[in-house]
Structure 1
Amino acid sequence: GGTYVNDFIHNGRVKRVYVQADAPFRMQPQDIGNWKVRNTAGQMIPLSAISTIRWDIAPPQLIRFNGSLAMEMQAGVKSGASSGDAMRDVQNIMAQLPDGFDYEWTGASLQEQRAGSQAPLLYAVSILFVFLCLAALYESWSVPFAVILAAALGILGALAATSLRGLNNDVFFQVGLLTTVGLAAKNAILIVEFAMQLQAQGKTAFAAAVEAARLRLRPIVMTSLAFGFGVLPLALGTGAGAASRVAIGTAVLGGTVISTVLGLLFVPVFFVWVRAWVQKRNQTETFAKIS
């Protein structure tokens, strides 16, 4: 079949160089025996003098990866298992092979590996970005913690809904998780911002939090219902490609319900805790300066 050697430029175009016998000398299998090689005495002898020819079974083509002999394997995932579980099983199998074997991911598996390793960093950057925006909004480093703690309620709801439906922690679930964090933070902002305004008018942190939760009940419930009914078709999706839609819709719907129900109860508590901690710290610093 010939052997690729190198490239050369001809009339401004790059062309490949193949070493190959002339057509009349490579038409039949027995022609290989007529090829000559040099022996230790420097004489040219035909291959038929030192070898025999027979038919055998071989792969139709030889695959190389980064210059090494390789073979490509494709596998499907059974119902109820995630692609991440399948990839871990493949890694365990490859770890049992003798020395000299290695593996590389390609295609969608490679992209999943890269995306999976970036997920913790993306979560950290998202939370940091939300915290800095809230710190600039409230002009405080402590108040944003009340909102960040509320985002954990949305994560809890997304995890609970996904677990109840028997779904897996895949990349689609992670997209829904980030969306849930934003929604939970939005509901908390509605309460915390109004509580800050009431506290600035002279009310205590507890009274301001209770009043803010009561006044913001209707807008929070209305926006959450609208968002929940909007993602309901995703959570109940069927047909081709439904797995990705169901994973996103379930995570977002579960996070929306739990963050709305528990957020109305716990966000005021978080706000009171944070404001009490800040007040206690300020009093301690003032006492230390006086002493």
Structure 2
Amino acid sequence: DNKLYDVILRLDPGERATPSDISGLHVRGRDRALVPLDAVTRVEERIGPRQLNHFNRVRSFTLSASMAPGFTLGQALDSLNAAAAKVLPAGSTVDLAGESREFRESGGALYFAFALALIFVFMVLAAQYESLLHPLTVLLAVPLAVTGALAALWIARSTLNVYSQIGMILLIGLVSKNSILLVTYANQLRLEGHDAMSAMREAGRIRLRPILMTSVATIFGALPIALGLGAGAGSRRPLGYAIIGGMLLSTMLTLFLVPAVFVVFERARGRRTDVSVPQRSGDYQPVTTVTASSEARS
């Protein structure tokens, strides 16, 4: 049934009490005949391990350690692999368990999920704005959020683990909201005839309060996670650090960077559309249309 079962064979306690009991065991030789075990073995008494551990059906030993202050989990694993390559004999392998295993397995998946989230948000915004420039303006808040999250983790002496990686993916949607509020309202004013500077200035004045309210609400919502309240909250603290740090830095800089980039893009697009191509003589022939009224024809 394609299942693996652990089978342990052993003698009764009365038949395995002394080393001489081994002489009563038999094994099959090359000719399939039974051979006493004491004929091919020698019994010695010496110090040895009480048990032999196995991992994935291979003889193994477990190494547990704690990280020194100022080091991340990724740095610790890199140092461990470098030391294992120097110390362990040839043919030895290193495998991970627990949080270290989750970190290694989710490391590559994080970059894929992050890139996929950016592409999805860009496609939705491009369809909404019918432009390729405005989505870029909106997504300028994402690098600021990632920088703030990494800075918060560094200040808190925390690590980049699975929880902090989830927080960074959440920041893509949280911080893009602030840029969307500004760009959407500015586009509406542009359709009403406002120039780029006045439209963004008015959008900043009207949208400042919603941006601050939602950002502050998000920060206070992540505060209990960052403080580590509740059972098992210690492992979830990096999630709160990433959200709070990313929202703080992104909110402060988005209010300045996004309007500036929006105005630059709008002016560049305006100059491109205002460029007129001079007509050369001889390219077009003038057409004269003569109409006559019914009275003149009569």
Q: Could you tell me which residue of structure 2 aligns to residue 258 of structure 1?
A: 249
* Separation (CA, whole Å) in 1 of partners of 2:162 and 2:268: 38
- Same amino acid, percent of matched pairs: 37
1:246 aligns with 2:246: no
One-letter amino acid of the counterpart of residue 229, structure 1: F
* Separation (CA, whole Å) in 2 of partners of 1:135 and 1:283: 23
Match of 2:78 among 80, 85, 88: 88
* Separation (CA, whole Å) in 2 of partners of 1:173 and 1:59: 40
- Worse-superposed segment, 88-97 or 105-114: 105-114
One-letter amino acid of the counterpart of residue 88, structure 1: D
1:124 aligns with 2:115: yes
Q: Could you tell me which residue of structure 1 aligns to residue 287 of structure 2?
A: none
- Worse-superposed segment, 91-100 or 56-65: 56-65
| Cα drift, residue 239 of structure 1 | 7.2
Identify if the C-alpha distance between structure 1 residues 15 and 210 changes in structure 2 by more than 3 Å, giving closer, same or farther: closer
One-letter amino acid of the counterpart of residue 111, structure 1: E
| Cα drift, residue 186 of structure 1 | 0.3
One-letter amino acid of the counterpart of residue 60, structure 1: R
The runs of 5 or more residues in structure 1 that have no matched partner are 1-6, 8-13
- Worse-superposed segment, 189-198 or 154-163: 154-163
- Worse-superposed segment, 174-183 or 50-59: 50-59
* Separation (CA, whole Å) in 2 of partners of 1:17 and 1:164: 52
| Cα drift, residue 192 of structure 1 | 0.2
Question: Which protein shows a greater Rg?
Answer: 2
* Separation (CA, whole Å) in 2 of partners of 1:166 and 1:265: 29
Q: Could you tell me which residue of structure 1 aligns to residue 98 of structure 2?
A: 107
Identify if the C-alpha distance between structure 1 residues 197 and 48 changes in structure 2 by more than 3 Å, giving closer, same or farther: closer
Q: Could you tell me which residue of structure 2 aligns to residue 10 of structure 1?
A: none
1:233 aligns with 2:251: no
Relative to its length, the structure with more strand (as a share) is 1
Q: Could you tell me which residue of structure 1 aligns to residue 19 of structure 2?
A: 29
The runs of 5 or more residues in structure 2 that have no matched partner are 284-298
Identify if the C-alpha distance between structure 1 residues 195 and 81 changes in structure 2 by more than 3 Å, giving closer, same or farther: same
One-letter amino acid of the counterpart of residue 46, structure 2: D
| Cα drift, residue 142 of structure 1 | 1.8
- Worse-superposed segment, 82-91 or 181-190: 82-91
* Separation (CA, whole Å) in 2 of partners of 1:226 and 1:44: 78
Aligned residues: 278
Q: For residues 104-131 of structure 1, give each alpha carbon's deviation from its aligned partner in whole angstroms, at most 9, with x where no partner exists.
A: 2233322221111211111111111111
One-letter amino acid of the counterpart of residue 230, structure 1: G
Q: For residues 135-190 of structure 1, give each alpha carbon's deviation from its aligned partner in whole angstroms, at most 9, with x where no partner exists.
A: 12112222111101122222232233333333332222222222223222100000
* Separation (CA, whole Å) in 2 of partners of 1:146 and 1:177: 19
